[in-house]
Amino acid sequence: AVFDHPAFDDHEQVVFCSDAETGLRAIIAIHDTRLGPALGGCRMWAYGSSGEAVTDALRLSRGMTYKNSLAGLDLGGGKSVIIGDPGRDKTPALLAAFGRHVETLGGRYTTAEDVGISTEDMEQVATATSHARGTPATGLGDPSPYTALGILSGIKAALAHRTGSDEIAGRRIVLQGLGHVGWHLADLLAKEKARLVVADVDASTAERAEAAFGAERAEADSAHRIEADVFAPCALGAGLNARTIPELGAGIVAGAANNQLATEADGERLMARGVLYAPDYAINAGGVISIALSKPGGDDTAVMERVTAIGETLRQIFVRADADGLPTDVVADAIARERLERAGARADPL
């Protein structure tokens, strides 16, 4: 019952896509186009049921509306999911079939990479649509280094707010997850002489990081407990919950993972414990900024400026949260909604 789904929440359009020849089954969700056509990545995942895929598409597309709004982009929120195991089911023909479906929307939705979909995969999608980004042909390619740069800027804003200085040197920072974003972030922090603690479920990745950045290594499942200045979750979502929040060893949480709070109550819980939380979609917008604003063959000066400005957005969130006595995630939502309400009409479906 899609219309009655708790996450349907004013979605403008949900498209179910299939292609018998390639086995494609995908869902494209367009949440809100008041700020412009929807932009959001495509996730490929072995969902247990099509219902799970609908839920994910609806939640993720709503999240993109808020992320794009807060990042100051003139873009709406949308997201797509392909149902299937990326390691087993992904073929060039399936990706092109997905691209053909994106093309039928005439630019109301632009896709890009997400979990399970690489830059090379997006190049396959782009063979069938002009509304695919995040490739070297459409701009700067892989968004992860820009996501990491935005996280660095956000960590500095949080340190400045909490301690009066944004100096990274000598700070103890715990990184949980050393994938595309986490690795770039570790590199940036090591160059600024942070004392790094690294954790990854993949032991060989953690060992490589230990050697590459002169870091200390920790267990993935207990990294949040380590006493530190900053805990940076850069793996999966829902890591901040009723069990982990009382155990947190850092006074600041600032990392890349999407949907870090398991429930709405967890923002309150963090505030009550005196932990300064950088709302996930505010701090991790560097990737979408690079996808939205970069041009083929262009340099990245304008993108770098906008990504670095994430620190200023967070400063404003922290100040308003203190003044109003509200959790930072509630304030981020309010700022994103205010911009949407000022924007007015939705994009013409034709």
Active centre residues (catalytic): 79
Q: Which neighbouring-strand residues pair with 230?
A: 173, 252
d(CA 158, CA 75): 27
Residue 284 binds to ligand NAD (criterion: CB under 6 A):
yes
Start-to-end C-alpha separation, the chain: 26
**Is residue 14 helix, strand or coil?**
strand
Q: Which of residues 207-246 bind ligand NAD (CB under 6 A)?
A: 220, 234-237
Closest of 263, 268, 270 to residue 247, by C-alpha: 270
Interacting span for ligand NAD (CB under 6 A) from 22-30, 82-90, 254-262, 309-317:
254-262
147 binds ligand NAD (CB under 6 A): yes
| Position 23 contacts ligand NAD (CB under 6 A) | no
For residue 54, what are the CA distances in angstroms to 81, 274, 296?
Answer: 8, 36, 33
Q: Which is nearer to ligand NAD, 22 or 205 (CB)?
A: 205
| Distance from C-alpha of 100 to C-alpha of 81, rounded to nearest angstrom | 15
Phi, psi of 322 (to 5 degrees): -65, -45
Candidate residues 76, 99, 287, 327; the one interacting with ligand NAD per rule CB under 6 A: 287
User: Could you say whether residue 257 binds ligand NAD (CB under 6 A)?
Assistant: yes
Between residue 73 and residue 112, which ones bind ligand NAD under the rule CB under 6 A? Answer: none
Q: Does 180 bind ligand NAD (CB under 6 A)?
A: yes
Size of the site for ligand NAD (CB under 6 A): 26
Residue of 256, 278, 292, 332 interacting with ligand NAD (CB under 6 A): 256
By the rule CB under 6 A, 199 interacts with ligand NAD: yes
Measured on CA atoms in the order 179, 183, 189, 194, is the torsion positive or negative?
A: positive
CB of 258 to ligand NAD, least distance (A): 4
244 by DSSP, 3-state: which?
coil
CA gap 2, 5 in Å, rounded? 5
Q: Does residue number 176 form part of the binding site for ligand NAD (CB under 6 A)?
A: yes
CA distances from 252 to 22, 182, 239, 240, 270 (A): 46, 17, 14, 12, 10
Task: Tell me which DSSP letter residue 111 carries.
Answer: B
- Rounded least distance, CB 285 to ligand NAD, Å: 7
Question: Of the ranges 142-150, 210-218, 293-301, 312-320, which one interacts with ligand NAD (CB under 6 A)?
Answer: 142-150
Q: Which is nearer to ligand NAD, 67 or 97 (CB)?
A: 67
Q: Which is nearer to ligand NAD, 15 or 197 (CB)?
A: 197
Whole-number Å distance between alpha carbons of 96 and 24: 10
Instruction: Name the residue type at position 124.
Output: Q
Is there binding between residue 179 and ligand NAD (CB under 6 A)? yes
* Residue whose CB is nearest to ligand NAD in the complex, by number: 179
* Position 177 contacts ligand NAD (CB under 6 A): yes
Of 108-127, binders to ligand NAD (CB under 6 A) are 115
| Distance set, CA 299 to CA 31, 133, 198, 305 (Å) | 31, 16, 32, 12
Binding residues for ligand NAD, per CB under 6 A?
A: 115, 143-144, 147, 176-182, 199-202, 205, 220, 234-237, 256-258, 284, 287
